[in-house]
Structure 1
């Protein structure tokens, strides 16, 4: 049981089923690479895999070995680096796919087959019984080769609940080590995800249950956390939330929520989240939105005068965590919403004098430019300050000259 308490408040929530530790299963190199327009080279995949190992993920899903000759080589290259985390290969419920994954020297195989009627009818053209038999045979075959097996009933969140329970129990009996609940088209809400996770847990018979959430309605992170609150012990994530359509649950957001809100150990070195995000953004060509939680440029940026005043006195007034905890830094942004305290802080940081008349003159110019839509970056701010100081010096010299004239 974990009690969540905030300063100045009593208990907010009591979660009986919350695990003490959650495995982070990263699928950036598999599901993340399925983002339209992304195709990582072998060296890029190795770069990302090394960074993920440094970050501390438990599992790296390196790819889908049976999908192409190049993908097979990429997965095998990552597996042979022995980076530390478990290296996983994806496989359909066929011997051919499983053999390819085995040949790629992976530590674990992620076996999947559709569980929803719409997938069975229109994609696989199989009956429920045929799909169940294929799933059991695939798990048994993979386990006979001594690897860890994780099984996903694809589109689980649109499957018949009784059939889903039957599938999970059957593959668990067949030897599956972990069970994943994929929200394949992102249709869940947190309440429904909790219910479904609790429904699946007994069928998994004590095996680790994972959640794999897509972001079609912007709920992937919330649904992942909800599944974990219901008892799931592993989350499938991608760096920056990249993935098909609207993407997957973002690693950095899921980890931060678990570590800092629920106080659950993920094994992740959170101070490396930002550099990991930057690397994947650079190699994928997908920029990080400035307002993205945890790793966005604005995640710890403050412009409003009221906010800046609070931040300067105590950062926790407007920040839930210290930016350094995720490898970020605090930024005081200057613009039309700025106040006296923000300008004074900027002057101090840059080594300028902070007399009240200087602060007010600089603030006036910052607001004027802000109203015109001008971005006041550090260079612009320095120019403003230098002009204010120059005018101030001119006025001082003029007054001294007038004083000398009068005394003469």
Structure 2
């Protein structure tokens, strides 16, 4: 068995990502996304669909003129009109998408014979105008495997630079995805294979990782998993999963992931869930007293990823219903306040009460306000008397 090649990322935030309902990027926003992806080391970007209109084609051309280090790719339907528009846009390459499942072919008024015939004609036409041409098997996950392999075989024979296996409606799971790619790789051992997954069932990232392990070294991703319906595989999640779970060097600058994620969230008007893997605002936060006691000794006890690795700062512990004395002591020491066991006990009770009422965690300001309220009452009532009250 051949060793798997290093992951090769193709970011499609500006193409498939912008196809998410209601998402529109300005040219300046596109250029900034490109700049951040370039700094992160992404080797190739699918930067748009020229056939959308003149303005789209012009913006693609302007992006190509920025002299970024990555290769640029235009997405096209399998027709000469789209290819000609792409050629004028100035991208390095073109991606030609073909419907390979019966359900898509019937909806588009095509059949398998048309697909194979058109593949050869469009490939020949496109290869006369571009440095490289990639071929897409749209809805490959629902295609007849025999026909899918025939399609891939013809693309390989013609000399395609890469074949994209698209899970267009997100029907695969990590096991079925692995088996599909393994079967294709067994037949076409040297052909560059790309996996393009959708997240309809919440498995896009897992499927992309699975496909890579099965032999698809080219990974199609978007920042934040932005894309149609439930989205695509998330760049930052796939890359960190490969690195942390499989010890595979993705050769990317992960310290830019948080900035990329925040910026794409902002310009797409898609608020990130606080618990979104890798870049969510609370994914490196801890409340449980059992955890924070260990975390103060070693962050690795209950935290897989160092904050600095993904461009974040380590976060202080959450103050809430599940906090323990270790968190109380942490915040007292932070402000050089005396760590008094009686006060700690009272603070812990009050914090749990307030967090339960609020149905959320408390801010540092809330914490210190409670502390000073306790101190004032202690001074008024006296230590012994106050400790014996109900602290109301």
1:30 is aligned to 15
Name which of structure 1's ranges 208-217 and 370-379 shifts more when overlaid on structure 2.
Answer: 370-379
The answer to whether structure 1 residue 103 and structure 2 residue 84 are counterparts is: no
Q: What SS does the corresponding residue of 1:125 show, helix, strand or coil? A: coil
Instruction: Please list every run of 5 or more consecutive structure 2 residues that lacks an aligned counterpart in the other structure.
Output: 386-392
Contact 2:36–2:256 (CA under 8 A) maintained in structure 1: no
Which of 162, 168, 184 is the aligned partner of 1:184?
Answer: 168
Q: What SS does the corresponding residue of 2:14 show, helix, strand or coil? A: coil
The answer to whether structure 1 residue 196 and structure 2 residue 186 are counterparts is: no
The answer to whether structure 1 residue 297 and structure 2 residue 304 are counterparts is: no
Structure 1: distance between partners of 2:371 and 2:347: 6
Q: What SS does the corresponding residue of 2:18 show, helix, strand or coil? A: helix
Structure 2: distance between partners of 1:272 and 1:352: 37
Name which of structure 1's ranges 329-338 and 181-190 shifts more when overlaid on structure 2.
Answer: 329-338
1:385 is aligned to 371
Structure 2: distance between partners of 1:203 and 1:92: 26
Name which of structure 1's ranges 113-122 and 322-331 shifts more when overlaid on structure 2.
Answer: 322-331
Contact 1:121–1:127 (CA under 8 A) maintained in structure 2: yes
Structure 2: distance between partners of 1:150 and 1:186: 21
Q: Following superposition of structure 1 onto structure 2, how do residues 208-357 of structure 1 map, counting pairs within 5 Å?
A: 208-331=192-315, 332-357=317-342
Name which of structure 1's ranges 226-235 and 318-327 shifts more when overlaid on structure 2.
Answer: 318-327
Contact 1:35–1:243 (CA under 8 A) maintained in structure 2: yes
Q: How many residues align?
A: 383
Structure 2: distance between partners of 1:355 and 1:17: 63
State the shift of 1:264 in Å.
1.6
Contact 1:172–1:205 (CA under 8 A) maintained in structure 2: no
Using the size of structure 2 for normalisation, the TM-score is 0.93
Q: What SS does the corresponding residue of 1:360 show, helix, strand or coil? A: helix
Structure 2: distance between partners of 1:357 and 1:154: 66
Which of 347, 351, 355 is the aligned partner of 1:370?
Answer: 355
Contact 2:123–2:158 (CA under 8 A) maintained in structure 1: yes
Q: What SS does the corresponding residue of 1:180 show, helix, strand or coil? A: strand
Structure 1: distance between partners of 2:163 and 2:49: 18
Structure 1: distance between partners of 2:238 and 2:131: 28
Name which of structure 1's ranges 39-48 and 26-35 shifts more when overlaid on structure 2.
Answer: 39-48
Using the size of structure 1 for normalisation, the TM-score is 0.90
Q: What SS does the corresponding residue of 2:9 show, helix, strand or coil? A: strand
Q: What SS does the corresponding residue of 2:283 show, helix, strand or coil? A: coil
Contact 2:87–2:130 (CA under 8 A) maintained in structure 1: no
Which of 44, 61, 71 is the aligned partner of 2:29?
Answer: 44
State the shift of 1:366 in Å.
1.0
State the shift of 1:201 in Å.
2.0
Which of 145, 150, 153 is the aligned partner of 2:134?
Answer: 150
State the shift of 1:351 in Å.
3.5
State the shift of 1:396 in Å.
6.3
Which of 106, 131, 140 is the aligned partner of 1:121?
Answer: 106
State the shift of 1:177 in Å.
0.5
Q: What SS does the corresponding residue of 1:372 show, helix, strand or coil? A: helix
State the shift of 1:27 in Å.
0.6
Alignment deviations for residues 353-379 of structure 1 (CA, whole Å, 9 cap, x no partner): 322223222222211101112530122
State the shift of 1:387 in Å.
2.0
